[in-house]
Amino acid sequence: MPEDNFRRKDGTLFPVQFKCSPMYQDNKISGAVIIFSDIGEHLKLQQELVNLLKDVKEANANLGKELKIKNELNVKLRESEKKLLDANSAKDKFFSIISHDLRNPLGSFKQLTTMLSKEYDIFDDYERKELLAQIEDYAENIFNLLENLLIWSRAQRGKIDFFPQAADIHFIVNNVISLIKFHAVQKKIALISNVRTGLEGFCDVNMLTTIIRNLISNAVKFTHENGTITIDAVKDERGITFSFTDTGVGMTKEVMNKLFRIDVTQTTPGTGNEKGTGLGLILCKEFVEKHGGSIWVESEPGSGSTFYFTLPEKE
């Protein structure tokens, strides 16, 4: 129906809607009836409805924004809670290492050196060699623990720079083997590297060295005398996949689930009664993930273990 504006007596305009209907007489149009309706109130209500819908839309948009902000805050809160829990776990781990795992071998080291110093003449040559061998073991364990502890402490404080670069993987692996070989020889364990000459990867050399050192040391710890540890690194769709396979004692699924976790204490003595804190594997996980890779283990009790980690290609 058409609409128009009419003028009132006071001169103001008001909207009207009109409808025209023909009148018939003797089957012929004889005139028309025009009905005018004041639609001012209708238009007013219509505009109020439009404004209300607009307000609802804006309110929904604001509500959506508020919900988004709330969700973001909840995510940040959960992240903060996780960081706090991790920080507390790291603190507890640190004090546990200082008060127990470091204090005990230092105490034993001091006791043996004091005994050898004050009662040197009481022992024969064989006994002296045995005592010196024990002192050497304690010294090596303390050194390795302190080295890992210092590296981990610096990592927690963000004091370790990350400088990935092209590197010779074959050289790095062989260099680590040369440093660890003495302890492996003492347990008559063969270290075999199948890493091919010329294999290159993109990595932080110091971090990769720490990862490989800890994984080989861990394998030596849990491998019996006359055992074998095989190191390999191959290029695949993930970049470079490293593997460290030993003929050691192996692990249950329960033990494997506790590895790489800062909030769990896992201290299983080695085959030579070597002590450990699990800190080395935690460092490995942190440094592997820093490179964008992943680390995992496959093992069966009595059948040895294989630790894997990936080193992605340069993006």
Cβ atoms 109, 138 nearer than 8 A: yes
> Would you call 31 helix, strand, or coil by DSSP?
strand
CA 25 to CA 38: how far, in whole Å? 30
Q: Please give the sequence-ordered ranges of beta strands (E in DSSP) within the chain, or none if there are none.
A: 3-7, 13-25, 28-38, 165-168, 190-193, 200-203, 228-236, 239-246, 295-299, 305-311
CA 179 to CA 174: how far, in whole Å? 9
Tens of each residue's pLDDT in the chain, 315 residues: 565 666 777 777 767 776 777 777 777 777 766 666 666 777 788 888 888 888 888 888 888 888 888 888 888 878 877 777 766 666 666 666 665 566 667 777 888 888 888 888 888 888 888 888 888 877 877 787 787 778 777 777 777 788 899 999 999 999 999 888 877 888 899 999 999 999 999 999 988 999 999 999 889 988 999 999 999 999 988 899 999 999 998 888 988 888 887 766 656 656 655 655 677 888 899 899 999 999 999 999 988 999 999 999 876
List the domains of the chain with CATH numbers: 3-38 (no CATH), 167-315 (3.30.565.10)
Tokens of 87: 């920080």
In terms of Cα–Cα distance, which of 220, 203, 143, 138 is closest to 169?
A: 203
